[in-house]
Structures are given as C-alpha cells and as structure tokens.
Amino acid sequence: MHLALAALGFLLAGCAPNLPPPQAPSQQQPAAPTATVTPAPSPNLTLPAPSAEAKVALLLPLSGQNAGIGRTLLQAAEMGVFDAAGDDFSLVVRDSAAPGGPAAAVSSALQAGARLVLGPVFSTEIAPAAQAAGSVVPVISFSNDRSAARSGVFVLGLAPQAQVERVVGYAAGQQIKRFAILYPNSPYGNAVRQAYQDSVVQAGGQVVTMQAYDPAATDFITTLQSLSASYKSSGFDALMVPEGGPTLRTVASMLPGFDIPMAGPGGGPTPAGAVRLLGTALWNDSGLAREQSLAGGWFASTPPDRWTAFAQRYQQIYGVAPDPRAGVVYDAVTLAVALAKSKQGGDFSLARLTDPSGFSGVTGLFRLNTDGTVSRGLSVLEIGPGGITIRDPAPATFQTVIN
C-alpha cells in the first residue's frame, strides 16, 4: 500500500507532508508509505489499462485557505489505509485546490490509474470533479449536499435530511402527531424545513406551524412571539430547531418565557401540553448537557460509541481532535479497500458500490443508493443533565454488511 502525492509546487520545493503510519508513539511502527511524484495531466486524457494494484483517488484541499481541513482529513485517510489495506492497494492523493481545481486533480489521478474517486470535500467542487471522472469512474464525495447526488456521484456526508427523517420517525412512534419548526432562512435551514415537512407527512403527522428567522439575527423576540401565538391557538407537540451553538442556547432558553412549556427528560409519550424539542446533528455537543432548557431534546446522529472510539484513537495518534468529517473520510477509504479486495485490481462498479447489504464504518451503517444518495443507520440521542445519551440505538444491519 502507498499514498501517491501529486506533483504540486510545494512538494517539488521539498515540503512534502509528513505521512507517518497512524500508530500511537508507544507502539511499534511499520515503514512509512512511499510518496511518489507524478507528472502533470495531459490535456487529452487516456486511461491506462487496469493493473493488479487497486488504485483509488483521494481529493482534498491541501493548499489554499482550506489546507488545514485537508491535512486533518488526510490523516483520517492514512488511518484507513494502515488499518485495512494491503500491498495491492494504492491511494492516489491529489490537491483539489491546486491550479486547475478538482477537474485537473481528477484527470491527474485517472492518468495514474485510479478507478474510483474519493472526494472532493465541498459541494461546489463535485460537478467539475464528476465531469472529469466521466460516466465510468464513480465519485464518492464527502459533502452532505443531497442536491449534488446523481447516478455514479455519491454524497457520503451526513445529510441533514437523513437526520430529520430519523428523529421525526422516532418522535411519531412516541405518539407525537403535531409538529412545528423554527429554522434559519438559509440553504441549510430550508433543506431541513423541506425534509421536516416530508418526514412528518410520511409519518402520519401534521406540520402546524413553520417560523423562519434571519440566520444573522440576534433578537428573536418577534419570531418567538409569533411561535407562541401559534402554540396558543393551535398547539403542537414537538418543535424542531435546526441550530447549534449560541443561537440554539439563546432560543431554547427563551421558549418558556413565551409560554411554550418544554417536555423535559424522561421516557414515554410527551406530557399533554408540553413540547418536545427536536434537533439535528448540530446538537451533538457535550457542552449542551449543561443547558437546562435543552434537557429532554432529541436529535439523530451517527452512533456515538463508534465515533468516540475513532476520535480517541485519532487524537492519540495525531495529538488533536478530529474534524467531524474525518469519520466520513475514514469510512470512504476503508470501503474502497473492501471493494479492492473483491477481485484483482478491485471492483468499483456501480453494482458493487450499491450493494444493498451496505457497509459498517465508524459513522455507523451506510448504503450507497443508485441515485447517489446515502442511506444511514442513525441513533436517536437525548440531551440530559448527565450528558448526551442514546434514546434509540442505530439499527444493527440493513441486511448483511459487506465487511
């Protein structure tokens, strides 16, 4: 196994990134991977013949303003290679922020023999990367923007729609029927709003009110007055607030003052008249356990035990906490390794990628769908005085996972 690095200026200048094997310092370390320099892509791309070695492209921003993100995600990819790959697997690393952007990075990787593209990170880079990959080489991006998904172009990030579908489905199973949402008027907020409407209808519930606010707002009095009026006139059992950080803390702390009673922690159906707070993975912050106003709130996210184990090992190896997207990158790499073992040179066909059995990773169960979206097995978590706990565990399998 090895990581092949593109012929970037900073590499030629002798500043190649340090790629030690991901082992804790106290452990015996295997030999470091070989970094090789490859020529710039030709304007007329011709794919080399398949080889016995399975080669997979990895697109990350390794220069420019997002280089820090790229380097931390590269470390997650290293972990995946050293954990799962053999000598017949090669990860061909390319800088999506280099001149020519993601299209040139993909072309260069394909010239080096890559038959699958992992990345890019950002949704705006997916289209040029996919165009360069053509209709033969699949792309598994790390974005969570479902609108960029299509056949052969997968969106592996934790999409807000999947989180909403899971928590709404669970809430409906707890006899919650009347739903409301308070959301920022932003692309993210509107994606959540649409998913919320769809999920509530699918679960047999009713969306009673939807209140939007300026994402830059700091004064929520007028918005909460309108929400309170809706509660008093129509009533609702659950309120989705797809926010995090200071805005979430501010809004949640103000709700009781507008005569919207919170359900609080505990099991069983929501008490009559009380409102169950619902959220997204933006709530996955251990500091929120200190916010009494959020106690009893539910949200969906990846299984916390798997992420915690991965994050602890990442920090032990690299000395810093991982970026939340690191688990997605690790899972993409180990999925590619699993598919590489299917046959000599790997089997990265769409039929194999979309195996209905799915895959088990540090972000839990996931399955690539033929339309480019990803199904996930998520946990429903509850915020309480003692921290974030599992309210409803993630499913154990879709059918039978491939690894």
- 269 token code pair: 């159906």
pLDDT tens for each residue of 175-215: 999 999 999 999 999 999 999 999 999 999 999 999 999 99
Q: What is the pLDDT of residue 268?
A: 55
The amino acid present at 385, given as its one-letter code, is P
- 332 token code pair: 């993409």
Q: What is the pLDDT of residue 68?
A: 96
DSSP string, 241-296: ----HHHHHHHHHHGGGGT--B--S-SSSPPTT-BEEEE-GGG--GGGGG-GGGTT
- By the 10 Å C-beta count (0-12 exposed, 13-18 middle, 19+ buried), 127 is classed as middle
**Residue ranges, the chain, pLDDT below 70:** 1-51, 266-271, 399-403
Superfamily assignment of 160-301 in CATH? Response regulator (3.40.50.2300)
Measure the CA–CA gap between 299 and 29, rounded to whole angstroms: 40
Q: What is the pLDDT of residue 86?
A: 85
Measure the CA–CA gap between 188 and 278, rounded to whole angstroms: 16
Contacts for 64 with CB less than 8 Å, ≥ 6 apart: 97
pLDDT tens for each residue of 204-239: 999 999 999 999 999 999 999 999 999 999 999 999
Q: What is the pLDDT of residue 47?
A: 52
Of 201, 205, 287, 307, the closest CA to residue 246 belongs to: 287
**Structural domain spans, the chain:** 2-157+307-368, 160-301
Q: What is the pLDDT of residue 310?
A: 96
Same fold? 2-157+307-368, 160-301? yes
Measure the CA–CA gap between 195 and 280, rounded to whole angstroms: 12
> What CATH number should be reported for the domain whose range is 2-157+307-368?
3.40.50.2300
- By the 10 Å C-beta count (0-12 exposed, 13-18 middle, 19+ buried), 268 is classed as exposed
Measure the CA–CA gap between 324 and 336, rounded to whole angstroms: 20
- 12 token code pair: 């030629």
